[in-house]
Structure 1
Amino acid sequence: MIKRLTTFISLPLVLLLLGAFILNPSEKTEKSDWISLFDGKSLNGWVQKNGTATYEVVDGTIKGTTNTGSPNSFLCTFNEFGDFELSFEVLLHDEELNSGVQIRSATREAEGDEAFGRVNGPQVEIEASSSGSPESGYIYGEGGTGGWLVEKDDRNYHDAFRDGEWNQYKVIAEGPRIQVWINGEKITDLWHEDIYMTHPRGFIGLQVHGISKNEGPYSVSWKNIRIRSL
């Protein structure tokens, strides 16, 4: 009789402890600590892929400047990321310049004397509100990965991006869902299983868009680039 009573009491206790063990780790690892991707002093942790634009540290920012006739250039993190929250500030010095930030991106196989193959993957758009078709905050499939991933009917022109000022971006990527905010205003809530299947994780890349031979030079700057895993 005593043996049976002991068993009856201990089983719920075991289940309770097991439940606590399962729940606590998920609460602790839901969001990791923020990691700074830019130390404000150097380009340590970054490597340029594609193009001949210049990237330099200027007054605690990363400043990218176009090079005449260059294709798209990308300054990319060595590290790769899957599900994350990304935060950064960006300033377009010249409203004529189109830019973006690559997420979960990769490079194709290098050809010829290329150091790196073509950068490809989802890109968060950066574009002046005064441009003819402002589409900042929407997601583009760079490097032959589908063109605009946000459908045309969902790409409503807006003025959340402040021309001539620093703009705060927040990007959350969880599975096939990508959300983007600009200066606190939600711009994109995209669910795209195809791009997630091909690009579930990858590097972060700062784009300086290519220009023709008779344009520029134009510049764009980033600062306070931080990320945390989800």
Structure 2
Amino acid sequence: MRKNSIWALALLLGLIFSNMKEKNKKDEWISLFDGKSLKGWKVGENAATFKVEKGMIVVEGPRAHLFYQGPVLNHTFTDFEFKAQVMTTPGSNSGIYFHTDYQEDGWPSKGYEVQVNNTHTDWRKTGSLYAIQDVKEIPAKDNEWFTEHIIVKGKKVTIKVNDKTLVEYTEPDSVSRSTTNARKISSGTFALQGHDPKSKVYYKEIMVKPLSQ
């Protein structure tokens, strides 16, 4: 009887330890950029707009979009936290897409865009959920690193810059978008935007934390 009790206790402790490991795994940030190459990422038109230098993705050149196509959750994310270190230069414009899909050219037709723009002429500034809930005030400075943090849980999107919440948007159940503007909560991958030849933007420490799948 005593032996059976010991085995039962050992089994219980094993299950508890396994559950703790699984929980910790879910709570971990996963890097999407190795700091050395664009491995796991794919760009269509104007691929030269993106390059890697000194642990950073440098975005400079004609319009282009760099899509994450790597192995993490088979590059399909639903609920998540996404975080990246970003640095803009004067007059530059970029963006971070989520719930999007790879496409060869043009502006991504699927997913939402989170704006990266501190001093470009576009009045929608960094942290905007582009053309859905926009930020007019500039939350960060050019030539300085800042953190852009996107949280998607269910129908709610939260956007923070340097830990300050700028957007809290809940998509209505009745939302309708056109087939050419599929801005809708669903699932998909991430993409970084090269906006125009005059824009130069830097990204590093690109990470995701899946919340549920």
Q: TM-score, normalised by structure 2?
A: 0.74
Identify the residue that residue 229 of structure 1 maps to in structure 2.
210
3-state SS of 1:28 partner: helix
CA–CA distance in 1 between the matches of 2:105 and 2:24?
34
Match of 1:90 among 86, 93, 99: 86
User: Could you list the runs of 5+ residues in structure 2 that have no partner in the other structure?
Assistant: 1-11, 70-74
CA deviation map 1:65-90 (0-9, x unaligned)? 113xxxx3111101121110111011
Identify the residue that residue 193 of structure 2 maps to in structure 1.
207
Instruction: Tell whether the 8 Å contact from 2:115 to 2:124 is kept in structure 1 after alignment.
Output: no
* Identity score, percent: 28
Give the counterpart letter for 2:111 in structure 1.
G
3-state SS of 2:23 partner: helix
3-state SS of 1:159 partner: coil
Identify the residue that residue 111 of structure 2 maps to in structure 1.
121
CA–CA distance in 2 between the matches of 1:52 and 1:182?
28
Superposition deviation, residue 221 in structure 1:
0.8
3-state SS of 2:101 partner: strand
CA–CA distance in 2 between the matches of 1:30 and 1:174?
18
Relative distance call for 1:199 and 1:29 in structure 2 (3 A) is: farther
Relative distance call for 1:76 and 1:92 in structure 2 (3 A) is: same
Highest CA radius of gyration, 1 or 2? 1
How many aligned residue pairs are there? Answer: 182
Instruction: Tell whether the 8 Å contact from 2:85 to 2:145 is kept in structure 1 after alignment.
Output: yes
Superposition deviation, residue 203 in structure 1:
0.9
CA deviation map 1:32-62 (0-9, x unaligned)? 3211000001110000034455211101000
Instruction: Tell whether the 8 Å contact from 1:53 to 1:66 is kept in structure 2 after alignment.
Output: yes
Give the counterpart letter for 2:207 in structure 1.
R
Instruction: Tell whether the 8 Å contact from 2:117 to 2:125 is kept in structure 1 after alignment.
Output: yes
Superposition deviation, residue 137 in structure 1:
0.5
Superposition deviation, residue 164 in structure 1:
1.6
Superposition deviation, residue 31 in structure 1:
4.0
Output aligned runs, 1:164-179, within 5 Å: 164-179=143-158
Superposition deviation, residue 199 in structure 1:
4.1
Superposition deviation, residue 149 in structure 1:
1.5
CA–CA distance in 1 between the matches of 2:143 and 2:123?
17
1:133 aligns with 2:123: yes
Identify the residue that residue 77 of structure 2 maps to in structure 1.
81
